[in-house]
A = this chain, B = another copy of it.
Amino acid sequence: MSQRFDELKQYLDRAMALQAALQLFEWDDATVAPKGAGKLTSNVIRILSGEYFQAVNNEEVKSLVKACQGDESLTQIQAAQVRELAEELEKLDSIPKEEYQDFAHLTSEAVRVWEEAKEKNDFQLFAPTLKQVIEYQKKFASYRAKDGQKKYDVMLNDYEPGFNMELLDRFFDTIKKEIVPLLKAVADSKVMVRNDFLTGEFSDDQQERIGRFLAEYVGFDFSKGVMAVSAHPFTTNLHNKDVRITTHYHHNLDSSLFSIIHETGHALYEFGIRDDLTQTLVGQGASMGMHESQSRFFENIIGRNRSFWIPIYEKLQEVFPQELSEIGLDMFVNGVNKAEPGFIRTEADELTYSLHILIRYELEKELIEGNLSVEDLPQMWADKYEEYLGIRPENVREGVLQDIHWSQGSFGYFPSYALGSAFGAQLYYHMKKVMDFDGLLAEGKLEVIRDYLRENIHQYGKLKDSRTMLKEITGEDFCPEYYVKYLKEKYGKLYQLDS
């Protein structure tokens, strides 16, 4: 037993409790809080955030961390917590406190400015603020860069430890080379995929009924979880015994169905984290990309797989007899896989999704490392959509202003979405070797797949990074070719392309 770690643990526990409170406020705000509460509740949140900052970032903690770093009596889990905390402290310490606070203030303003600009479809409203956000992030990255590290690499590493531009350039080059022509071939295909039956007057009650069924079927444990409604679906958790997902109910049925499966994928990760890790700094997903790998794995590789629907498609028809009794299983599965270029990332199908991310990656690199100016951003955005997806956004609301991320200062975050899909594909081809993947789906034995993922990924939290886990599980380093292979096989079959 390390006495220093015990002292440090008091700070870690405070930080954990404050973090849980902040999570709860975020959940509450998105799901139930009254509209009028915002301003006064934000006072509360500002103070609690300050308390959190204070709990992890003070002289006492710094000296305890230093002492613990040399302490060989620490358990593996304790050492991992010290490592995470040390990284966080190093990050905060390299940035002058005043600049850090100014930036926090700027981004909270920036989100509001972005909302207004998006609402008014006016990029010029947002441009000056975005310029400032980028300047701060570049400055912070240069403070933090080690041994000639590039600024954008510093940012990427925050979301996906172990990844950098070199790896991602190779990844996105592969995508560009393979997916752009594949999408062209799909567009030229004579196969007409119907999905009109997915749009209609699906009642919220019915959508909720099938949504709860699906969540539970996929593995969501309602004794340790909650499902609610919010404007944008998300997953949050207080610990591994309290995991919460949200969805929304629209006129297109697939939106709620697949967002629920997606969020359940995130939720399974959180449920699966070991009891001795939850409520610690390492009791979270290994990385953004690994988290997205689980959600997108369940949403797409499982949820849009014909075998998945074999045992339960009748149930879906039962809930929507009017809308689906005439639609057969194959027509339904083909419909939810239809590929169509669109402007909005969050509504994209599996094939075009990676191109939305490719565009953002290229633009971020140009903004941070290259010479792209904020003024030229909307033009460049539109050019790239035209080049890769063959469509040109006519307004900034459906173009460069669609995502919240940049207003929050999140540069380097987008690649994780595509990485997640690619991790998932690599896992998929490996799992097909060690189990009868499609057979299990067809028999409704999802627990075998779930247990495998829990055993190999979920339980570890942040004890291992995503690249290490991939290597240990599949025997290979990260390999984007599996993702391309997956998309080619899937869409080649659906659109009857010659391969």
Chain A residues within 8 Å of B, Cβ to Cβ: 13-14, 16-18, 20-21, 24-25, 28, 32-37, 39-41, 43-44, 47-48, 51, 221-226, 228, 238-242, 278-279
Contacts and interface: CB of A to CB of B under 8 A. Distances in A.
B17 A43 contact: yes
5 contacts: A18-B48, A24-B28, A28-B28, A32-B32, A37-B238
A223 to B, nearest CB: 5
B223 A14 contact: no
A283 to B, nearest CB: 11
B225 A40 contact: no
Contacts of A40: 238-242, 278-279
A130 to B, nearest CB: 31
CB-CB nearest 3 A-B residue pairs: A37-B242, A17-B47, A36-B224
B47 A223 contact: no
A222 B41 CA distance: 16
Contact of A41 (B33, B41, B239): B239
Contact of A241 (B37, B222, B228, B239): B37
A284 B291 CA distance: 43
A217 to B, nearest CB: 18
Give the interface SS of chain A, mostly helix, strand, loop or mixed: helix
A224 B16 contact: no
Contacts of A28: 24, 28
Given A14-B51, A21-B25, A238 B44 contact: yes
Contacts of A37: 224, 238-239, 241-242
Contact of A34 (B32, B41, B222): B222
B51 A241 contact: no
Contacts of A16: 44, 47
The interface centre, meaning the residue of A228, A239, A278 with most chain B CB atoms within 10 A of its CB, is: A239
A82 to B, nearest CB: 20
Contacts of A41: 20, 238-239, 241-242
A204 to B, nearest CB: 13
Contacts of A32: 32, 226, 228
Contact of A33 (B25, B48, B242): B242
A105 to B, nearest CB: 17
Nearest to A32: B226
Given A21-B24, A223-B36, A242-B34, A13 B278 contact: no
B13 A47 contact: yes
Contacts of A240: 40
A47 B25 CA distance: 17
Contacts of A35: 223-224
